[in-house]
Structure formats: structure tokens, C-alpha cells
Amino acid sequence: MNTRAAPVRTTSALAVFDVERIRRDFPILQREVNGYPLAYLDNAASAQRPQVVIDAEAHYYAEIHANVHRGVHTLSQLATEAYESTRESVRRFINAASTREIIFVRGTTEAINLVAQSYARPRLAPGDEILITWLEHHSNIVPWQLLCEQTGARLKVAPINHSGEVELPAIEAQLSPRTRLLAIAHVSNALGTILPVREIIELAHARGVPVLLDAAQAVPHLRVDMRELDCDFYAFSGHKLYAPTGIGVLYGREALLKEMPPWQGGGDMILKVSFEGTTFNALPYKFEAGTPNIAGTVGLGAAIDYLEALGMERIAAYEHELLDYATQRLASVRGLRLIGTARQKAAVLSFVLDGIHPHDIGTILDSVGIAIRTGHHCAMPVMEFFQVPATARASLAFYNTRAEVDRLVAALERTREVFG
């Protein structure tokens, strides 16, 4: 055995990432809350926007706005170009095969509802099954419950373990000949768990079961690649990706999207309308009825450009170091219990503090300018699993710092003092 130590690498992700410069890109991070500099640790609920995104939206309204896909006039052409060039940005960002696979929607929730109603509903017979996991966000539970009521299908739930992980055998045990779709989170919003989606998809595909990933928490923190993942549907939101609210993306495998009927009817999704019948437009327009969120889409494009310039791998490496630091620092707080200790985690720290309700923690932290989320995080079954009514959750982004984590820890110590 070679006992000689390998040369020590001193260049950590923290060292190569100029977070102070990056923070200056986000105007809201310069403000104070309750007399203290804002420490925004609620990124899993919604992230903040860099100036370039705000500018892109403002520029769109000041210089470009008209309706898309409709006019021969200059502005309509410019608006269409701005809208469609973002579709190409999204395609490149997630490495989809074609822009025909990129559907603009309001957000992850709408994307999942679209798949439920347009893909799954026509295919389901009573007794068929949809499989989810115990750690899903309500937006990946309720659309399936509605669908089950409409079709007589059954919702099955694969369990998690006490670290908040989904183990492959747990999925395998729930897959049956009646399973018609597997719909799971890529990253858990309440626990931070990164699911072994590549392996899960392989497992499901081997049984002929298509897979939808709720990627709202994944896309902001990981480099994702549709062709490598080989999933069938992939849903995410702009507002967690440093882009405007009200814009999101559904990626769908082209062969599946082609067979699916439109979800909503209206303008832009048609080729020809008469009272005898209507011919639907091609992909992706078939699924984009009505005037879309053009400005939001333009903002999404700017956010993607910004993230690509920083580099998703560098973002992930920085956030991972920050997560390790925060995990270690929080462990020093007496009476603090982390909820969700998966080996593979995104920078989400859900916790409870002995005898102190998360809501009280949230108020005390807010009084010193620290924003965290408290409550059930739209994942009530997860709370039930860990037998807590709620948790406090700090969720980190690449613009957060060790100093902010230190402030969090100090404020938690202060919380303990108040409730003595």
C-alpha cells in the first residue's frame, strides 16, 4: 500500500467562486430587513433575480413587446424571436434533442397537471396505477389524486428511509404490471435528498413504465441532461431558477408529446378552426394555448445565460461546500435535529429545535434579517413520516455565504435563549 500522501489540493470551490462579486449582481441582496442586512436562505421556495433578468424583462416591455406568432409587423417578429430564442436556450441548458420538446407553462405545477390530463388520463383504466414516493411536494401528489378520481386508477406510494432517501428496492417493490407512470421528485424540496433518478428511470423503463421527474429543486442546483437521463417528462419552474414567476418548462419526449391531445384550447395552438372542427398546431405550440408569458420567458432566457456563464458545475460545487459547512455548523446548536440526512443532498437544511416551534424560530430569525421557510413545505406526508408538525428550513443558493450561515447559527442560539 502506498502510504505517501497525495499532493494536497488547496483550491476549493469556495476559493474559486467570487461570491462577493456575484452578490452585487442581485439588487435585493443589498437591502436591509428589520435593520439588518438581508440573509436570504429561502431559495427552495423562490430564488432571487440578478439585475440582468430584471433588465431583460424591462427591456422587453420598453422596446419589443407585441404578441408572438401573429403579426407581420416588426415588433411581433422581434417578440417572437425573443420568445423562441429562449426555447432554444432551454433546450441547450437541459440538452434536449429538439425545441419541439420544450413546452412553456406557468410552472412545475402546471407542467405536472398537463402530463396528468393529457398524457395519463386517456391511457388509464380503473385499477391502473400511478407510482409516486413519500417525499413528493403536494404538486406531485394532488394532480395524480385528481386523476385517480377521474379514471378509477390507484395512487401508489413508495416509502422512504429514515435518512429521507428513496431506495431502489422500494421503487421496484411498488412497480407492478398495472403501473402506467412513475412520477417522482429529482430533488426533494423538504429534505434536500437527491434521488438516484438515473437508476430509477432504468428500472422503470425495463418494465416499460414512463417516468416524469418533478425537477423544480434540481434544475437550479445541478447540471441536467435530458439525453443522458433518458426520462420521459421533466418539469421545472423559472422562479426557482433566478427567473421571473409565472414561467416554467415541461420537457417531454417528442414521440410521447406527438400522441398526446392538447390540454387547453385557444389561440396559437391551432392551424385551422371552423365550426365543423379544428386542426391543431404542431409541437410545441399544440400545448401553448393563448398568449403566453412572453416577458417571463425572456427573463428565463436571461437567467439561463447568467447561470451558464457562472457554470452549473461550479455552482453545484460551491453550494455543496456551503452545505457541508452549514451541516457541520448546525450540528453545534444544542437540541437541533436535522430532518433529512441523505448521503446525496442539495443545499437544503430542514430542522427542528427542541421544544421550540418552527414558526417562532422563523419570527425570531426574521427580526434579525434572516429569511427561512417554516411550516410543512407543501409536503405534509413528509412531516407525518418524521412525526413533526413542521420544520424550519434553510435553503442555500450560490450567492449565500459562510458568514450568513454563521448568522443563522447565532440567531438560533439567540432563539434558544428567548425560550430558555
Partner 1 sequence: MDLKELYRDVIIDHNRRPRNFGRLEQPDAHAEGFNPLCGDRLDVYLKLDGDRIRDVRFEGKGCAISVASASLMTEALKGRTRAEAQRYFQEVHDLLTRADFTPTLELGKLAALSGVREFPVRVKCASLCWHTLNAALASSSQPVSTE
Q: How far is CA 80 from CA 71, 74, 91, 129, in A?
A: 9, 10, 17, 40
Residue 340 contacts partner 1 per CB under 8 A: no
Name the residue nearer to partner 1 (CB basis): 13 or 38: 38
Which ranges constitute the DSSP H helices of 152-196?
168-174
Pick the closer one to partner 1 by CB: 12 or 34.
Answer: 34
Q: Cell 446548536 maps to which residue?
A: 333
- Choose the binding region for partner 1 from 86-94, 268-276, 291-299, 355-363 (rule: CB under 8 A): 355-363
Least separation in angstroms between CB 336 and partner 1: 17
Distance set, CA 29 to CA 33, 64, 225, 399 (Å)? 10, 29, 30, 9
DSSP annotation of 133 reads E
Closer Cβ to partner 1, 63 or 384, answer by number = 384
Binders of partner 1 in range 379-408 (CB under 8 A): 380, 383, 389-390
* Min CB(52)–partner 1 separation in Å: 32
Least distance in Å: CB of 143 to partner 1? 19
Based on the shown chain and the rule CB under 8 A, indicate whether residue 420 belongs to the binding site for partner 1: yes
> How many other β-carbons are positioned within 10 Å of the β-carbon of residue 275?
5
Query: Which of 358, 392, 400, 412 forms a contact with partner 1 (CB under 8 A)?
Result: 358
Number of residues that bind partner 1 (CB under 8 A): 21
Site map for partner 1, 9-48, x if CB under 8 A?
-------------------------xx-------------
348: Cα within 13 Å, side-chain hemisphere: 33
Please provide the distance, in angstroms rounded to a whole number, between the alpha carbons at the two ends of the chain.
Answer: 53
Cell of 281: 398546431
Q: Is 388 exposed, middle or buried (0-12, 13-18, 19+ CB in 10 A)?
A: middle
Q: Which is nearer to partner 1, 134 or 306 (CB)?
A: 134
148 included as an active-site residue: no
Q: Look up residue 389 and give its three cell numbers.
A: 408538525
Does residue 357 interact with partner 1 by CB under 8 A? yes
Question: Does residue 335 belong to the site contacting partner 1 (CB under 8 A)?
Answer: no
Residue from 53, 226, 378, 412 carrying the catalytic annotation = 378
β-partners of residue 395 are: 42, 348
Q: Is 375 in the site for partner 1 (CB under 8 A)?
A: yes
Nearer to partner 1, 38 or 170 (CB): 38
Burial class of residue 98 (count of CB atoms within 10 Å of its CB; 0-12, 13-18, 19+) = exposed
Does residue number 363 form part of the binding site for partner 1 (CB under 8 A)? Answer: yes
Q: Which of 134, 137, 140, 42 is nearest to 358 (CA)?
A: 42
Q: Are strands 39-40 and 370-371 parallel, antiparallel or unpaired?
A: parallel
Q: Which residues bind partner 1 (CB under 8 A)?
A: 34-35, 356-360, 363-364, 366-367, 374-376, 380, 383, 389-390, 418-420
Which are the catalytic amino acids?
378
